[in-house]
Structure 1
Amino acid sequence: MTIRMTSNMMSSTLLGNLNRNLYNMDNLENQISTGRKITKPSDDPVGVTYALRYRSQLAGNEQFQRATDSAQSWLDETDSQMGSATNVMTRLKELMVQSSTGTYSDSDMQSAANEVEQLKKQLVDIGNSKFGGKFIFNGQEYGTMPYPTEAGTDYSQVETDNTAVKYVIGENIQFQINTTGNEFFGMSGVEDNVFAVMDRVVSAMRSGNSEGITAEMGNVESRTNQMVSSRSEVGARTNRVELVNSRLLDQEMNTTTLLSKTEDLDVAEALIKATSAQTVYEAALKSSANIMSTSLIDFMR
């Protein structure tokens, strides 16, 4: 059965085709102006899902990078302060060797004792070092000064907080960044606690006891070795943080590339399509004008 094609049906069909061509041309021009091939979810529902996932991954990656940067800075500060402490220990050993030879006068001994006391104060300052407003040698109690500066404080009896400070630097990765004061300077009551050793050295120097000074050499050596070991551990942690940060940067680059492939527009290709769509639209307008040129007069003839 033949369907009778009326003028109204022809007009509707032509207008529908023109609108589709116009919509296609407008969509391409919008993509070119924004530089994105997905401007709303309906453009590519699957692509939008992937794009949201990639953006979520990038946001998480950015958080982890900030954590690794903070961890790196904390570890760098710790390493710097530990280096200063080992320099103090080197000077302490020099004074002990010089004053234990028996060639120092009483005045020299008093001067050496005074310097050891200053070295002890320097270690206290190092023990109270802060990074970002946090005391780095006091565990999770980083808001509290571990070594009080009040006169008469017995630093050999100080108990620092020994809980670990951990940063989340990746998916399910918690990383300890701190070294406690007791771990570095010595636990309360142990023979090689650096503050207890210094107190005994000062006492021996003030009393002119060369043998007492010599007797402490082993404790100084033991504590120095422990300090060097702690600093080596900080170096190992620093290396790991650097590796994690490098991996995060690689992940960021890969995810950004995937996001770009999902969202970003191939401008050259879009320009060609836009030019073609404009040509098609203009041709449709011209042909439609020719087809629909009839008027009421034509039907009255």
Structure 2
Amino acid sequence: MRITTSMLTSNYQSNMTKNLNNIQKIQNQLSSGKEISRPSDNPYKVSRTMQMYTEIGANKQYNENIKDISNWLDTTDTSLNQMGNVFARVRELLVTAGNGAYGGDERKAIQDEIKERVNEMSQILNTNFDGVYIFGGTKTTSKPTIVNSDGELCYADKDGNAVNKTAAGVNIELTNPITDGGTKTINSMEKSGDTVTVIIADNTDPANPVETPVNIDLSSVDLTATPPVTEESLFKIALNAQGFNDDAVERLASMVPSFNALDQMGSDLNVEVSQGVLINYNKNAVDLLEGSGTNVVDTLNKIITNLGSGGDVSKITGECLGEVDDIIKNLLKNRAEVGAMQNRMESAQDKNESENLDMTDILSKTEDIDFTEKMIQYSTMQTVYMAALQTSAKILPATILDYL
């Protein structure tokens, strides 16, 4: 086959283009430090790299979760320690109150201190971490407890009203009673099943107020009716007839969700610390106030009552002392569980950091270049390129006239 000058020139240009493309590719790799710059370079490595970036990003978020929960648990542990100190002091005071030589004045002084301990207990239960009430369950934006006007520790709804369990259901005591502008006031309401009972007190005779229960059946709510039957409309029908205006009724109807406050405060909080691994990390007010089978609120009220005039001192050193011991055991149990969770968080963090290092190493091996190897390749390509230029400089200029 006859080889023409045009064929040599064409092959030369094609090969030189390939050489230059290879040099450019290696230059891009050396400047970026990455093996690939576009999916077409190596689709498998691109897919693998994207997957590794996703996993590393998720792992970093898991690590942030672990750090946040570790701080949360540290705060919880400190609060539980403070509660333990409160009840250790209460126990000490109960033992002291049993001294037969103590009179009414000494017991009154002990009663006053225990009342202050009730306030301190509420303050601890309302501990806030990073804008969240740690003992509020899923009710994290408002205080879980208050001390009412009678000095009793109570659960609280979002508006600061006292919420208490009753034999029939849940009772809400209004911090700011609702009035009709005259002698009638609404101080509380109770929910049992679907029925809300509003207690209206008529204070025409302040010494002998008359209480009238008004029942509202929430099962009658029908949003498909014309007009729709809502909770608010049912409250208006029942309470407008008692002389309360719409503003007062709307305020009362807006408190219906507060009947679920106890369920919210008793809820668990979970966090994901690894793919598919959820950990419950909170202790809530219900765990601490009722977890031992002894109701802390009832015990404290019983202690305060029996320290007053006419109280039974034998209950102080007997029944009440035993209940305080149960409460302290429950606090120690919860604190031990928090300690176990702290250990688990430390273990999870170590595992997370180890996984991050492993995945970063795999990612580096997948997308990063070996600079030594690439420099050798670059030098080789430069040598090939220079050799091609020198060879072409000698061969391509030659023509048949050079041989005549």
By the TM > 0.5 criterion, same fold?
yes
Decide whether the 8 Å contact of 2:266 with 2:284 is kept in 1: yes
* TM-superposed deviation, 1:149: 4.5
1:212 aligns with 2:343: no
- Which consecutive unaligned segments of at least 5 residues does structure 2 have? 155-162, 166-261
Q: Partner residue of 2:299? A: 197
* Superposed displacement of residue 15, structure 1: 1.3
Using structure 2 for the length normalisation, give the TM-score: 0.69
Q: Is the 8 Å Cα contact of residues 119 and 147 (structure 2) preserved in structure 1?
A: no
Give 1:176's aligned amino acid. Answer: N
Letter in 2 for 1:182: V
The answer for the alignment partner of 2:128 in structure 1 is 130
Cα RMSD (Å) of the superposition?
A: 2.1
Given candidates 54, 63, 66, the residue that maps to 1:65 is 63
Superposed displacement of residue 151, structure 1: 2.5
The alpha carbon displacement at 1:229 in A equals 0.6
User: How far apart are 1:125 and its partner, in Å?
Assistant: 0.8
Superposition pairs of residues 280-299 of structure 1, within 5 angstroms: 280-294=384-398, 298=402
**Contact (CA 8 Å) 1:165, 1:178: kept in 2 or not?**
yes
In structure 1, C-alpha distance between the alignment counterparts of 2:303 and 2:293, rounded to whole Å: 13
Deviations 1:152-209 (A, max 9, x none): 364367463212111122222221111121211226xx97322222222222223374
8 A contact 2:98–2:317 mirrored in 1: yes
What residue in structure 1 maps to residue 231 of structure 2?
none
Secondary structure of the structure 2 residue equivalent to 1:139: coil
Can you list the C-alpha shifts for 1:59-89, whole angstroms capped at 9, x where unaligned? Answer: 1112222222222222221111111100111
For residue 106 of structure 1, report the CA deviation from its aligned partner. Answer: 3.2
- 1:214–1:150 CA distance, 2 compared to 1 (3 A): closer
Equivalent position amino acid for 1:122 in 2: E
Identity %: 27
Name the structure where strand makes up a greater proportion of residues.
2
Alpha-carbon distance change, 86 to 292 in structure 1, aligned in 2, over 3 angstroms: same
Q: CA deviation at 1:295?
A: 5.6
153-162 or 27-36: bigger deviation: 153-162
d(CA) in 1 for partners of 2:147 and 2:99? 34
Give the structure, 1 or 2, with the largest relative contact order (CA under 8 Å, sep 6 or more). Answer: 1
Q: 2:334 aligns with which of 230, 234, 237?
A: 230
* TM-score under structure 1 length normalisation: 0.91
Q: Does 1:113 align with 2:111?
A: yes
Name the residue aligned to 1:275: 379
**Amino acid of the structure 2 residue aligned with 1:201:** I
Aligned length: 296
Matched with 2:268 is 164
Instruction: Report matched runs for 1:1-301 at 5 Å.
Output: 3-152=1-150, 154-155=152-153, 158=164, 160=262, 161-186=265-290, 192-207=294-309, 209-215=312-318, 216-294=320-398, 298=402
Question: How far apart are residue 210 of structure 1 and its match?
Answer: 3.1
Q: Is the 8 A contact 2:118 2:300 kept in 1?
A: yes
Structure 1: 4+ residue segments shifted above 4 A = 295-299
Alpha-carbon distance, 1:57 to partner: 0.9
List per-residue Cα deviations over 1:70-115 (Å, max 9, x = no partner). Answer: 2222222111111110011111111111121223343322221111
Contact 2:147 2:153 in 1 (8 A): no
Return the offset for 1:222.
Answer: 0.7
Letter in 2 for 1:254: D
Whether the 8 Å CA contact 1:191–1:197 is kept in 2: the answer is no
Alpha-carbon distance between aligned partners in 1 of 2:150 and 2:105, rounded to the nearest angstrom: 25
Shift of 1:138: 2.0
Q: Secondary structure at the match of 2:146?
A: coil
Aligned 8 A contact 1:88 1:123 in 2: yes
Q: Distance in 2 between matches of 1:158 and 1:64?
A: 38
1:205 maps to a residue whose letter is L
Give me the whole-angstrom Cα distance separating, in 2, the residues matched to 1:48 and 1:112.
73
**Could you give the per-residue CA deviations for residues 124-154 of structure 1, whole angstroms, max 9, x where no partner exists?**
1111112222222221122232113453364
